[in-house]
């Protein structure tokens, strides 16, 4: 895989840019209105988080990542408009995805195979950013949900 932001069509439909901070301690992945890859811990503060989206055609390539806060689950919602991926504190596979106020911080999965779709193929860069975003959620068929312990499909 070359550039995951391009390959998966990752974008930020509301605001911010999509970041993959693979070389930072928290390994943040998602949309943020500041560059979390330049902060000491690599984390996007809650008040800067934004919903993420992806190209619905890449749905089968996107695996669940980890949510950093309790009470949030990872969603990949192909059928939301726009599609949603990321952590949300409510069912995110509704028609409009996850509201900004319910978006939580996500990090790359600790399992390398699960994180692989979000990693660059060549030498790792500290920061990969795009003005695109992704969204995820759960809704029958074309919806998946995950806890930090695993990946669940509905």
- Predicted pLDDT at 120: 85
Determine phi and psi for 5, rounding to 5 degrees: -65, -40
- Predicted pLDDT at 1: 55
- Predicted pLDDT at 121: 63
- Predicted pLDDT at 2: 84
CB 99 within 8 A of CB 49: no
- Cβ density class 30-52: b for 16+ within 10 Å, e for less: bbbbebbbebeebbbeeebbbbb
Q: Average pLDDT for consecutive 10-residue bins of the chain (154 residues)? A: 90 97 95 96 96 97 96 97 97 94 97 94 42 34 39 32
Question: In the chain, where do the E strands start and end?
Answer: 17-20, 29-32, 49-50, 66-67, 73-77, 84-88, 103-104, 106-107, 128-130, 143-147, 150-153
- Predicted pLDDT at 145: 42
Structure token digits, residue 122: 């060549």
């Amino acid at each position: 895989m070359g550039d995951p932001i391009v390959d998966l069509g990752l974008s930020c439909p509301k605001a911010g840019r999509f970041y993959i901070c693979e070389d930072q301690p928290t390994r943040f992945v998602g949309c943020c209105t500041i560059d979390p890859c330049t902060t000491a811990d690599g984390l996007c503060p809650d008040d800067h988080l934004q919903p993420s989206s992806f190209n619905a055609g890449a749905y089968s390539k996107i695996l669940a990542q980890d949510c950093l806060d309790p009470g949030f689950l990872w969603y990949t919602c192909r059928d939301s408009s726009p599609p949603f991926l990321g952590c949300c504190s409510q069912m995110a596979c509704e028609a409009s995805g996850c509201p900004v106020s319910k978006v939580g911080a996500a990090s790359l999965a600790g399992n390398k195979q699960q994180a692989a779709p979000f990693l660059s193929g060549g030498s790792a860069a500290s920061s990969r950013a795009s003005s695109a975003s992704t969204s995820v959620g759960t809704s029958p068929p074309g919806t998946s949900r995950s806890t930090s312990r695993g990946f669940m499909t509905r």
